[in-house]
Amino acid sequence: MNDLLRLIIAQQQKNLRSHFAIISRDIQILAVPRKATVIIGIRRCGKSTWQHEKIESLLDDGVDAENICYIDFSDDRLDFLRLEGSDPSVIADTYYGMYPLKHEERVYFFFDELQYVNRWAQFVNRIQTTQLCEVYITGSSAKLLSKEIATELGGRTFTWEMFPFSFKEFLRATGKPQAITDIASRDAVIGAFDAYVEKGGMPERLVLPKGSMAPIYFQNLVNDVISHDILLRYNIQHPVQLKRLVHMLMSSYSRLITVNKLKQRLAGERNKLSPELISNYIEKLTDCYLLFTVPIRSYNTAVQSVNPRKVYCVDHALVQAYCRATSENSGLVLENMVFMALRRVSEQIYYYKTSQGDEIDFTVGPDSDIRLIQVSWSLGKDGRTRERELSPLLDGMEELGLQESWIITAYEEEEFKDEKTGRTIHIVPAYSWLLKG
């Protein structure tokens, strides 16, 4: 039995309840028998906090603290488990050595930052097949990607994605009403929406002592992703070019990008990268949940490959560390916000080009349930702005055989019905639309 592990397990069992307020998340994570529950997502989005919430719910349901084994593998005292040749089975051996009668009872293993452990997959497989237990795993590294987990654990896992706070979770975290029931609650929600636009959904951002600290906080977060989840993981040979590429992508949020244009921009700064490496790096940034790219809607993969993709960030406020927020880019911020609301529930997200060459921000869902969504901070009183947003949607609805579509604005609300076709465009304020998502 490992005395150090014994000490760590015992210490954690005395401090299973969090010393900080826990904000419940809307995602419903359910355990599946004989499968490890794995939670993946960008660093600091709340995965470890969810584990503590789950532990507290078990304690509240009467589970004995001795039936819970929580280990945070970022603890430097556990560095020996990172060494090649180390055997993580010492974890289970130590726990059951402390509590031999627990072999006959259900035990709950919580492993935070498990990717640090050498040969962790074999260990998890073994305890799931030999012990009566539930296993919960979180981690921030690309080593815990669902596609790698499927290979390592041979299907003995169920993976859940976690993202920064949604608007509704932001309301909960800031103590604001989570539904509009009267004028007072509506005004409170609108005020919170303005704060959400500025602060975003990263939980730690909400507790910074000063708003001026946000750029530094976000830059450190991005640097951690680059350093720990990409550079160290993949032994990247072009760290300077990768960091510059990230900056370019972050400042291009909610816009169309092409690999060739990125290549030219990098080359103009004497940061040469091949198109293949640029594509590879973008894929890795997506794997780490920092950035996402959206293709054009087409059944032809060749068409998708030659057309630009739109790029979005995991949190709309995070990009403020790379490009200053202005009234001109408020629509881009809102579009990124809408994308993340859609991404929380679906991966079938595309942009659409009408036969006239006009762009529609989002087409979402399968063919049987397509939704067209346009995003504009304000339609305003300018007839040209209104026409620019409405016309592509009417063309897109006709081409796709749809009777309704949506425009998400910051505050405006109305129903537009085309007199010729009877098609309806719902113009809805983001603060209301986000509450329903």
pLDDT digits (tens, 9 = 90+) for 232-255: 778 899 999 999 999 999 999 999
pTM comes to 0.94
| Distance, CA of 405 to CA of 418 (rounded, Å) | 12
The last residue of a domain, from among 161, 185, 208: 161
What would you report as the CA-atom Rg of the chain, rounded to the nearest whole angstrom? 24
CB 304 within 8 A of CB 374: no
Q: Given a cut of 70, is residue 75 above it in pLDDT?
A: yes
141 falls within a domain = yes
> What CATH number is attached to the domain comprising 415?
3.40.1350
339 falls within a domain = yes
413 falls within a domain = yes
Residue-range definition of the domain harbouring residue 86: 3-161
- Token reading at 333: 């911020």
pLDDT digits (tens, 9 = 90+) for 14-72: 999 988 889 999 999 999 988 999 998 999 999 999 999 999 999 999 999 999 999 99
How many angstroms from the chain centroid is the CA of residue 258? 23
Q: Given a cut of 90, is residue 108 above it in pLDDT?
A: yes
Q: Given a cut of 80, is residue 150 above it in pLDDT?
A: no
Q: Given a cut of 60, is residue 145 above it in pLDDT?
A: no
CB 427 within 8 A of CB 409: yes
The last residue of a domain, from among 161, 195, 212: 161
Which pLDDT score is estimated for 10? 96
pLDDT digits (tens, 9 = 90+) for 301-322: 899 999 999 999 999 999 978 8
CB 74 within 8 A of CB 113: yes
pLDDT digits (tens, 9 = 90+) for 247-297: 999 999 999 999 999 999 999 999 999 999 999 999 999 988 999 999 999
Which pLDDT score is estimated for 157? 85
212 falls within a domain = no
**What is the spatial order of strands in the sheet that 414-417 belongs to?**
349-353, 359-364, 371-375, 404-409, 424-429, 414-417
Which pLDDT score is estimated for 391? 96
pLDDT digits (tens, 9 = 90+) for 383-392: 788 999 999 9
Query: Which pLDDT band holds residue 376 (cuts at 50, 70, 90)?
Result: very high
The last residue of a domain, from among 109, 139, 161: 161
116 falls within a domain = yes
| Distance, CA of 400 to CA of 353 (rounded, Å) | 11
> What CATH number is attached to the domain comprising 35?
3.40.50.300
Which pLDDT score is estimated for 405? 98
259 falls within a domain = no
298 falls within a domain = no
Which pLDDT score is estimated for 149? 64
Strands 255-257 and 309-313: antiparallel
118 falls within a domain = yes
State how many domains the chain has. 2
| 149, amino acid identity | I
Closest CA to 374 of 435, 427, 311: 427
Closest CA to 303 of 371, 340, 352: 352
Closest CA to 258 of 300, 301, 295, 299: 295
